[in-house]
Structure 1
Amino acid sequence: MSVADLRRWRLNSQSLASGTADVVAGGVAGAVAATQRLLAVQAQDYPASKWALGARSPGTTAAHVEEALNTGLIVRSWPMRGTLHLVPAHDLHWMLRLSTRRLVIGAKTRQAQLGLTEQILEAARALAVDALTGGRELSRADFLALLESRGIDTGEQRGYHLIWFLAQTGTLCWGRQVGTQQVLVLLDEWVPDARTLEGDEALGEFALRYFTGHGPATLADFAGWSQLTLTDARIGLAVARQDLVEFSVDGVSHFLLARYDTGTRPRQRSAIMLLPGFDEYFLGYRDRSAVIGPADEQRVTPGKNGIFRPLVVFEGRIIGTWRKRASAGAIRVTAELFRSFTGRQQAGLRRCVLDYGRFLGVEPILVPAPAAPS
């Protein structure tokens, strides 16, 4: 498989190609299908995570994504890497069981620095269960106020860590969106019909779902994305192997869902795509050299401080970044390409900005970009 073929098939797996199988266009079902395909969509930037689903399901709007979240079809929590993601609701429990032990052990030093003893953590859990049982919900601010009223200090990031710990250990998750914020609910009440997967079966499902939504990708890509140990990643790949096909790209083994017809040549859905920051097309791989050069990669992650800028994608390659600014019922979009615009790219960019405005339900305005660096 050539590098160009790899890009084409990643577009297909990521639901960014024309005619991608299993993609439902538009509506709540589209948002759910896109999440199901990727398994986990990074969601520390909440608006960006919603656009990640909209970009993969033409016709889906921000309101549709919010409805999927408000009805518990998609859940926002910390299923892996200690980072917020959107996941299909019925998959969250087994993902937590795979990731929680290592992450909680890794957090013990930080807990000690914050003075969060096991007694305090379990007292917070008891308060959460008592306050939320029976379908009740609390905003973040109200939950932290409850903890403070019972003598639990939430300052100096203790509040964030307490919510993270209770979500990571399966007590809490984010529920409905109320205004611009989500409220906290009890996970077992919000997702009562969770899938039960254990051990090697869960590892195999993790691997299969990763390569379904991200392939062609390598074992190292999967291990980096999931943050499983390399041993567990290998077990997962071995369990899923019967459903995957192996390709060599520049001498490195890559895996792709076997049922795809690799005799076809997928194409990007439109000439230009605007993808959000923290998007899986960039973040979902340890090795990103197939889609961006090292100098340009630094422009996506300036300062390497954990911030991933929104992406401009042309024929599978990342060719720039973009930014937005909301104002009085409109959204102003400015693209900054790494090289000079072509006429085709300009026309594609205008269509993308219109699509983004439709997704948000506001007037889109394309701001003329500054000249690209030579």
Structure 2
Amino acid sequence: MGQIKAVLCGYYGKGNGGDEALLASLLQMLPESVTPLVLSGNPAQTRKRYTVQSGDRMSALRVLKAMRHSDVFIWGGGSLIQDATSARSPLYYSGLMGLAQQLGLKTIAWAQGVGPLKRPLTRWLARQSFTSCTAVSVRDQGSAAILGNWQIPFTLAPDPVWALDSLPVKGLWDLPAPRVAVTLRSHSSLTPIRLGNLTRALVDFQKATGTCILLVPFQASQDLRIAESISSQLTGPHQIFLLEDPRELKGLFRGVEMAIGMRYHSLIMAAAQECRCFALSYDPKVSNLMSELNLPGWDLAQLPDDPNIISQTWLEHYVNGNPLTGDQVQSLVDRALMHQELLREFVSKLI
């Protein structure tokens, strides 16, 4: 077949560091025989950042044209097929998958995090979409269980971001050490009272440890306001890092002793750089990651009301907690590359 043209579809170009990390991982893992076109919320930015072709994800004409000139549709990765927030996400992505299949493209559901699916319609759409895929890979046991119940073949491997290359961050090493990174996001479970308690706990934690606090918004539209609110209360050294390149986001954690995170991919990036991690879960995917990696943390709904308990718990983990070992990280990286192997095997059958 020669050079293969592939449309890449995900929550790309929307300013979310985790989804950008998935795109960067996918582009890193694509065989050289594949020419990608990325459907993006910001095509110009995507073209510039990754030097790839890109089109507007919301332009029906652009999407249709891209599919008609392509051989493969890659649907990945992350929590695209879930209706916890609304039914729009699974309807959009299932609709694109259905269109690609009607046009005769080979389809891959890649590194998926499936669910929650609470509505009968979205469950039915998801099952139909995955059933018709040529190949499927998932990133967690919960997703594997759903597809297993639907009797859909799949490959299970850790999130591809474990294997994402990292880049150094300018100015990071000029900041005083030790450093602790904090990644909070806007969510209904992070109420003003809980944010206030976390902020007071962080102020006390910093005074006790003398650490430099790095506030890391993964999605500026949701996270920056929270980072600025915390920054205004801290009395010790601190800095807000707004990083657009996901490889730099991952590289940031190389210079960090401990990470306190809500963001799923912030915890993966930090653990991959052998940081101590403390999770604040707002979503089943974070809770599942805590279980799989044996990470300490709280579900935000069960966050202690006393800031002193929070800060003392963080202090205990900072002093006595253990990061993943190098061997553990390498094992996760090696298994994450199974997503790359799936792509290679798929493409080899087309050439």
Q: TM-score, normalised by structure 2?
A: 0.26
Q: TM-score, normalised by structure 1?
A: 0.25
